[in-house]
Structure 1
Amino acid sequence: MSTDTQWQKMLTSKFASGVLLICLLLTGICIVGLKDMGLSSDYKIFFDDNDTDLQTLEQMDATYTATDNVFIMIKPKQGQIYNVETLSLVYQLTDRLWQIPFSSRVDSLTNYPFSWAEGDNIEIEELLYEEDQLDLARINFIKRAAEGEVDLIDSLVTSDGVYTAINVTTLLPGENHKAEILAIMQAVEADIQEFKLRYPEHSFYVTGLVTMNGAFFKAAKADFTSLIPLMIVFVLVAAGVILGSAQAALSILVVLVLSLLGALGLAGWLGINLSAPSVSAPIIMFTVIVASSIHIISYVKRQLILGHSQFDAVLSSYQHNAKPIIVSHITTIIGFLAMNASDSPPFRDLGNIVAFGVMFSLILSFTLLPRLLLWIRISTKQTIVTNIFERMNGLASIVICYRNLILFTFLPVSVVFASLSFLNETDDDLIKYFNKSVPFRAQAEEIDQHFSGLYNIGYSLSSNQDNGIFSPTYLGFVDKFDTWLLTQQEVVTTDSPLHRIKQLNQLINGDQSQFYQIPKTAKLAAQHFLLYEMSLPFGKDVGNQVSFDKSSFKLTARLKNMTSVEMLAFEARVTKWLQQNTVQGITFEYSSPSLIFSHVGQNNIFSLLQGAFIAFLVISLALTAVFRSFYIGILTLIPNLIPVGAAFGFWYCIQGHISMGLAGVSAMAIGIIVDDTVHFLYQYIQGLKRGLTPEQSVISTFEHTMSAIVISSILLVVGFMLLSSSSFEKNAQMGLLTSGTIVLALLFDLIVLPAIVLKFMRRLPQYAGQPHLTLDQAK
């Protein structure tokens, strides 16, 4: 049976109708899975459940109070905080924050448990127990007390007295994490808004882990609700303008929407939730699918303009484009599946969802789309866009004329830029996961100027025996560690029970400064600390720093804003010190959200780059198999690899850092840009098979294929540029770099690839058989 007959049967037979029905049914079943899909709002989604760093953090959270918090910085617009209005604000807001959902502890200047000695007793009272106590004498007392408290300075009050802060610790049930986070954020935002109106002479800034979780959710929701509708409008308008047919644009949209819903539904069946990184999957999916559909429909339109019937035009389009479209879909799927090398689940989810969408697109493009193209009416009028791209032979003539100049100038320059890609530093910054327009980032960066915000490391130091933390040997080691930490340039302050134990010893000994030291015996230290615990006001227990059996406590190093490389360097230096100085019997473990993000960020960068390399090898082998020529497989390395390298080289010139999101661009881009290489090479080889000279084959390829390549590339660039407007910085950078890569790849396909084939592939590969006749030639 001839190829023409096979395609005719595909378009008209009952068997084809049955296949279409089955495909639509399977797509519908997958779409049902949407009911199980949601938006994630927990930073822990960036880690696997068996991630050892995450397990360490959760173990520490189980031993001590969890670290989920909301940190609010307050600044009077003039002067210090030690005045009636500011202290009243802090007192009232502290009281209000106790009422927000899941609040378990609120720490501020006004409710700080101040200790003093009265005879043989230790008295503990909040610095401002009642608001009506607030007079000049009390204000001066609060100021003197704050300036002398190690646990307040740089933790809740700046040393210059210009800023103060309130820290709210939350305890989430974990039954519905998103709802719990949103409930906290809505309550905090409402309270802040109210106090802004009541105290207009004050500025408020908010950060913390709960706030960061809320920012992840808001970024994902904003992208999903704004960029996807914008992308749909773009597809309709662009396809309508390019093809000159609203019905053709709608047919693309049907394939797009079904592919999108099918991919998201299948992800729902597999238990995948959308998150800030993976919410970009629909936008990426849309751009890739539109580009493929344009190849088919633009060829149909061209055949209609030449006078063919609609049936013959559709048949010819599939004869002409089927093989390269199948190959391009498969290579795109390989590229996105390579993201499964990622150490971070959301980036694996991103790759898998897009791969699902491209898979549905491949199926629907060969079952549903041809039927739609037979039903709709496609205008035969030339459009402005098609008129421009119909005149591609002029460019072909230039490339043919100057092919040697192109090879010896454009190619070396690209290689030089590609070599710069190796100079990019692999680095990440937790706060910079969001762009500067996101309030969370702006406020977190402002807080970091005065306090330690998100960046810290908690060290759990265990004596490995009950009540062992009161041992003078243990406390001496902790004192030495604390003193050393405070000499490190990254450390803003430290937080632990050590200061309190030394202060209690001073208070018991007549409040004489020379007794601000570790008690001489474990018994004394235990007695003092028990007395202190029993005197603490409600909500001020020491469970956030001391284990239940008093075998260990947590010392937290509060750090300046740091990149992942700086954080890991600090971690290594501290670990080395601990290993060299730890006293026998004392063990330690450490963790924090900012630290585990640094670990997964660095690991993810390298794993994604490894995945990209594997994808590149697999795609090259696939192309070798498709063209049945190792020689052609090697040639495809040039237009596929160099544009990616050159794009990263340009990125080095403007940025210089590769973050966790950008590392995935290499795998994605290779899977996408190889599509145009396949279309060009396939049509060029078909020309050689028909007996055309290499020059004639290039001209023929430009006339019949290059316009679709340019149009699809432009659509891809615009689509990814839309993604660059995302408030989630990783998605925005991914969109920007991928757009640049596609532009460079298009230049290679227009200029360098023709020059390469004219220089190095002037004859048919050895496998070539009889020329393949198109429908036009057959007639």
Structure 2
Amino acid sequence: MHWLMESRASRWLMALVLLLTLVSAAGLTRMGLASDYRIFFDEDDSDLLRLEQMQDTYSTTDNVFIMIEPPADDGVYNADTLRLVHELTQALWRLPHVSRVDSLTNFPYSSADGDDILIEEFVYELDEITPERIAFIAAAAGQERDLVGNLVTADGRYTAINVTTRLPGLDNKAEVLAVTDGVDELVAVYQAANPGHHFYQTGVVEMNGAFFKAAKKDFVTLIPLMIVFVLISAGLILGSPAAAGAILVIVVLALCGSLGMAGWLGIRLSAPSVSAPIIMFTVIVASAIHILSYIKRQIAAGLPRHDAVLQSYQRNIKPITVSHLTTIVGFLAMNFSDSPPFRDLGNIVALGVLFSLLLTVTVLPQLLLRLRFSARTTATTRLFERMSRLSDWVIRRRRPVLWLMLPLALAIAALSPLNALNDDLIRYFDKSQTFRADSERIDAHFSGIYTIDYSLSASQQSGIFEPGFLRFLGQFDAWLLEQPEVVTTSSPLHRIKDLNRLMNGGDAAFYRLPADATTAAQQFLLYEMSLPFGRDVTHQVSFDKSAAKLTARLQNLSSLGLIAFEERAQGWLWQHQPATIEIYHSSPAVIFAHIGESNIISLLQGASLAFVVISIMLMLVFGSFYIGLLSLIPNLLPVAAAFGFWYCINGQISMGLAGVSAMAIGIIVDDTVHFIYQYINGLKRGLTPEDSVRETFSKTMGGIVISSLLLVAGFLLLSTSAFEKNAQMGMLTSITIVLALLFDLLLLPALVLSFLRRVPTSAARYFRKAEELQDAN
């Protein structure tokens, strides 16, 4: 190990690693935060392409939906509320990128005037809000199919304003924030002026803004907290602020190198991937603790600093290298994800761990040789002393431990397949997030962001006016309204029927489809020509009138519920869809349900491959198929048991949690490798299995406990994330690491005492060659 610290080659290697890190860190200028839900999908994703096809056929429906709750028992049909809605509607028109604003007051009410259609907004000017006009609006609005359930509740208790945007797409983050910040400012002004009214906001644009705000909040709060955590915990554990500073140097360099490299690769941070720095910090600190705690213990025993550093590296360099590599493999397995942000998360952390390995073998030893370590007793040394007592207890009770823990762990692990693979778009965000709270409140009275748009295409221009097309549209609309998940529907159907009524003297008996396509087309053209500016029908009808859109507004559903509804609707269409009509469907909620389901499956497949690769690595590390296989038990069982435990407390595996299995095994292998490696070393030196366990506990287990507790603390910090997927990932990973620590403390010693009482011949030869190579260096 002298070449790592004192040779000329070590200095050149350190300079090369630092140069690579600094060049990589220059890419930080290219790093940014993403704020568009489309980042969750590949550009060629079939579901995303179908959504874009929908948005090319009809005008965009990216929106902000504002629900207004008047004072209790007032309802919306009063002068104060109508004045508020009118003024806010006018103000919202003036925001950037707004293409349409729909509300109760500017609703285009249609009436007949001889052979003409008269269209007027319910409220043009504030002085129109008289008791007589209010009574008229209340009576007329309750009969308008396009209003009830969309912009006003049937009981008149709540109303809403829907703001449709058309973003240029040149700078998505700036455009989204221009809209959401503008809406927030306006709502704040009107809330202050109308304290009795309450405002709630949701919509696709608000969701995009929520993704950005959650990522930004985590980035500016959790990372500084993690830096403080590193300094305080390492300083307390090691009794040396300088040692904590050395760890911090490695962590910051690895962080800058990995994020900078991600910037060069064109990766942008998003709500899921912003957790990468937190995970990196945690993993790197836990790994460095093994080296530093051993140095601390040797110095406390009277060894000079130089010799303590040298011995620590001789003892720990191989298991630390292996643990870094297995962690990299675990996070690289996230590249199986169907969703880019989760691939980004895996790649950023893998890059960070790679930089950590390079810096740990080059820069860290040079720093440690220049630090002063106190020889006084600290929590670390006291913990090492207590480990010997635990080892005696485990040795005496190894059989009960083995026969109790294995069946219990297997029983809990057997529950893991019972977890439902499920996701919920609203619950991507923590309960403390305004977007989630508002969306859930709005869902109780309207439909939030959960919609499905069906595009029905005829075979010819103006084909939507054919009687057969309209009859089928009506049948499908009626079926949708019978479904318990559907709040309401919207399509051109009601307007076409109502136009026929108006053109027949307003006779309610004529609220039906026109007798022929020509009449329907002429009436609809007359209606279009009468509409005020900004109130066209392109959100429901294609330009050439060959396609119409039917939107089903749904209750907030989980991905399982949404997919079940989607499949039920598809089954109805297969039975009733005419051959002359082509239908496809999409919406942001639909594509998120699909990516959630496919991403869970793909991440579990990646985890399976990671298990195989890590298993092979362990067999190569120990030079023995038998030892590698045995070491899998304390690595795989905690992961399986953690998912079984998760079933008991939650029962659902979401898009973020599916990657925990690969990620966790890459991390927890670290401690297993340290234990088995030191145990085998003891056997090779002629110690009995019992004495080898005692020595391993005495020299290694304290570091394992400390590193595991640091990992748990770090991931628990992640569990406070504003992005619920990151929070759940942090919680489940913490549970996994706690279980892995219990296995390492109790089950692993029992396993090696029962099934590894001597070093296999192949492993003995392998370790002998490794030692010869190390002595040669």
Verify same fold: TM over 0.5: yes
Letter matched to residue 147 of structure 1: G
**592-601 or 763-772, larger mean C-alpha shift:** 763-772
Provide the rounded CA distance (Å) in 1 between the counterparts of 2:460 and 2:385: 82
Q: CA deviation at 1:77?
A: 1.6
Alignment-mate amino acid for residue 61 of structure 2 = T
Q: Which amino acid aligns with 1:27?
A: T
CA separation in 2, counterparts of 1:390 and 1:250? 26
The question of 1:483 aligning with 2:478 is answered yes
Aligned to 1:87: 82
1:68 to 62, 83, 88: 62
TM-score (structure 1 length as normaliser):
0.98
Counterpart check, 1:455 vs 2:450: yes
Per the alignment, in what secondary structure is the counterpart of residue 402 of structure 2? helix
Matched, 1:34 2:40: no
Residue 410 of structure 2 aligns to a residue whose secondary structure is helix
User: 1:384 offset after TM fit, Å?
Assistant: 2.9
Distance 1:186 1:114 in 2: 31
The 3-state SS of whatever aligns with 1:636 is helix
Aligned to 1:292: 287
The reply to whether residue 9 of structure 1 matches residue 6 of structure 2 is no
Q: Does 1:56 align with 2:50?
A: yes
**In structure 1, what is the equivalent of residue 695 of structure 2?**
700
Q: Quote the Cα distance in structure 1 between the aligned partners of 2:699 and 2:156.
A: 73
The alpha carbon displacement at 1:389 in A equals 3.0
Distance of 1:311 and 1:464 partners within structure 2: 83
AA in 1 matched with 2:35: S
Partners of 2:4 and 2:365 within 8 A in 1: no
Structure 2 residue aligned with 1:686 = 681
Q: Distance in 1 between matches of 2:771 and 2:342?
A: 44
CA distance in 1, matches of 2:188, 2:19: 51
- Work out whether 1:512 is the aligned partner of 2:503: no
Cα deviation for residue 8 of structure 1 reads 1.3
* Structure 1: distance between partners of 2:693 and 2:678: 9
| Equivalent in 91, 103, 107 of residue 108 of structure 1 | 103
1:185: Cα distance to partner? Answer: 1.1
Of 104, 129, 143, 1:148 maps to: 143
Preserved contact between residue 297 and residue 381 of structure 2 (Cα < 8 Å): no
- Write the distance in 2 (CA, Å) between the matches of 1:52 and 1:101: 31
Q: Distance in 1 between matches of 2:440 and 2:771?
A: 65
Among 408, 425, 433, the residue aligned to 1:438: 433
Q: Which runs of 5+ in 2 are unaligned?
A: none
Cα distance in structure 1, aligned partners of 2:124 and 2:431: 40
Structure 1 position 584, deviation (Å): 2.2
Q: Does 1:654 align with 2:640?
A: no
Shift of 1:255: 0.3
In the alignment, which residue of structure 2 is the partner of 1:307? 302
Name the CA distance, whole Å, in 1 between partners of 2:15 and 2:288.
20
Which of 333, 352, 356 lines up with 1:361 in the alignment? 356
Q: How many residues align?
A: 770
Q: Structure 1: 5+ residue runs without aligned partners? A: 1-6
Mapped to 2, the partners of 1:183 and 1:9 lie a distance apart of 57
Cα pair 2:58 2:538 within 8 Å, conserved: yes
Distance in 2, matches of 1:699 and 1:464, equals 81
Secondary structure class of the residue paired with 1:115: strand
Provide the secondary structure at the position in 1 that maps to 2:416. Answer: helix
Conservation of the 8 A alpha-carbon contact between 2:380 and 2:702: no
**Alignment pair present for 1:426 and 2:421:** yes
SS in 2 for 1:584: coil
Give 2:392's match in structure 1, choosing from 375, 391, 397: 397
Q: Secondary structure at the match of 1:740?
A: helix
Distance 2:690 2:53 in 1: 68
* Residues 1:375 and 2:370 aligned together: yes
Partner Cα distance (1:249, 1:486) in 2: 63
CA–CA distance in structure 2, aligned partners of residues 546 and 8 of structure 1: 76
Q: Given residue 423 of structure 1, which amino acid in structure 2 is its aligned partner?
A: L
Q: Which residue of 1 aligns with 2:577?
A: 582
CA distance in 2, matches of 1:623, 1:67: 53
Pairwise CA distance, 1:463: 0.2
Within 5 Å, give how 1:193-272 maps onto structure 2: 193-272=188-267
Contact 2:635 2:740 in 1 (8 A): yes
Do 2:715 and 2:731's aligned partners in 1 also have CA atoms closer than 8 Å?
A: yes
Cα shift at 1:386: 2.5
Cα distance in 2, alignment partners of residues 121 and 9 from structure 1: 94
* 1:629 to 2:630 alignment: no
Q: Distance in 2 between matches of 1:334 and 1:66?
A: 42
Structure 2: how far apart are the matches of 1:560 and 1:14? 68
Q: Distance in 2 between matches of 1:99 and 1:740?
A: 50
SS class of match (2:573)? helix
The answer for the alignment partner of 1:325 in structure 2 is: 320
Say which of 155, 159, 162 aligns to 1:164.
Answer: 159
What amino acid maps onto 1:434 in structure 2? F
The equivalent of 1:561 in structure 2 is 556
Structure 2 partner of 1:177: 172
SS of residue paired to 2:414 = helix
Paired with 1:332 and 1:8, the residues of 2 have a C-alpha distance of: 27
Quote the residue 2:17 is aligned against. 23
**What is the distance in 2 between the residues matched to 1:232 and 1:584?**
63
Question: Once the 2 structures are TM-superposed, how far is the Cα of residue 464 of structure 1 from its aligned partner?
Answer: 2.4
Q: Find the counterpart in structure 2 of residue 645 from structure 1.
A: 640
Greater Cα offset, 349-358 or 629-638: 629-638
Q: Given the alignment, which residue of 112, 129, 135 partners 1:134? A: 129
Quote how far apart the aligned CAs of 1:304 are.
1.4
Aligned residue type for 1:42: D
Q: Pick one of 558, 577, 586 that aligns with 1:591.
A: 586
* Partner residue of 2:412 out of 397, 414, 417: 417
Residue identity over aligned pairs, in percent, reads: 62
The range that moved more, 518-527 or 762-771, is 762-771
Cα RMSD (Å)? 1.2
Report whether the alignment pairs 1:117 with 2:118.
Answer: no
1:625 alignment partner AA: L
Distance (whole Å) between structure 1 residues aligned to residue 518 and residue 510 of structure 2 = 16
Aligned counterparts of 2:422 and 2:336: Cα–Cα separation in 1: 18
Contact 2:465 2:518 in 1 (8 A): yes
| Distance in 2, Cα, partners of 1:390 & 1:589 | 68
Name the CA distance, whole Å, in 2 between partners of 1:500 and 1:662.
Answer: 46
CA distance in 2, matches of 1:85, 1:537: 25
Read off the aligned partner of 1:214 and give its amino acid letter.
Answer: G
Match of 2:340 among 345, 368, 372: 345
- Counterpart of 2:182 in structure 1: which amino acid? A
Output one character per residue of 1:483-507: Cα deviation in whole Å (capped at 9) or x when no partner. Answer: 1111111111000011000100011
**Deviation for aligned residue 1:773:** 8.0
Say which SS state the counterpart of residue 369 (structure 2) adopts.
Answer: helix
Q: Compute the displacement of 1:390 (Å).
A: 2.5
Shift of 1:342: 0.5
Match status 1:470 vs 2:465: yes
Contact 2:429 2:722 in 1 (8 A): yes
Counterparts of 2:380 and 2:24, CA distance in 1: 37
3-state DSSP of counterpart to 1:70: strand
Q: Please, which moves more after superposition, 381-390 or 187-196?
A: 381-390
Distance 2:294 2:384 in 1: 12
| Aligned equivalent of 1:407 | 402
Q: Is 2:607 the partner of 1:612?
A: yes
CA distance in 2, matches of 1:248, 1:583: 74
1:502 and 2:497 matched: yes
Q: Distance in 2 between matches of 1:584 and 1:117?
A: 37
Matching residue within 738, 747, 750 for 2:745: 750
Cα drift, residue 10 of structure 1: 2.4
One-letter amino acid matched to 1:94: T
Q: Which residue of 2 aligns with 1:766?
A: 761
